[in-house]
Amino acid sequence: MTTPKTEIYFATRKTASAHVYITKGNGRIRINNVPVEMIGHEMSREAILAPLEIAGDLRTRVNISVRVRGGGYSGQASAVATAISRALTGWTKSKKEPRDHPFPKSIREDLRKRISVYDKYLISGDARMKEPKKFGGPGARRRKQKSYR
């Protein structure tokens, strides 16, 4: 018996990071080895399930396991939602065609369009969250400037 092909996807939000493992399956979703239905924080659960609700009946064809660390409820929920949407659409950093994905390319493109209509930052993430500090900008101690009167 062969083991199903597992693909790993990654997303961050604030200080939270989420790793999603997606395989062909029967629709089981676990976060830190806990079923998603048992997550106590209701707003976090709704944020996590948003990309799965958009996917509709496609969610019953995959098993999703998520490992999330760091941050609080909101940051973790956003990181998990972004990582799940990336996993469902087959997004990779190298933009190559993923092999043995549970969905064909046409279904992934349709799903990507539906997710981007719902929230354009759900697939790609918000670029402003990771903008680096600019060199020569204000630091911890502000320097005196000459006044030009």
pTM: 0.77
- pLDDT tens figures, 110-133: 888 888 888 877 777 766 666 666
List the beta bridge partners of residue 9.
20
pLDDT score at 109: 84
Mean pLDDT of 24-30: 91
For residues 104 and 101, what is the distance between their CA atoms, to the nearest angstrom?
7
Give residue 88's pLDDT band: very low, low, confident or very high (50, 70, 90). Answer: confident
> Which residues neighbour 58 within 8 Å (Cβ) at sequence distance 6 or greater?
88, 103, 107, 111
Share of the chain above pLDDT 90, in %: 34
| For the chain, domain boundaries | 7-127
Structure tokens at 9: 């996807």
Q: What is the mean pLDDT of the chain?
A: 81
CATH topology assigned to domain 7-127 = Ribosomal Protein S5; domain 2 (3.30.230)
Q: Residue 15: phi, psi to the nearest 5?
A: -105, 5
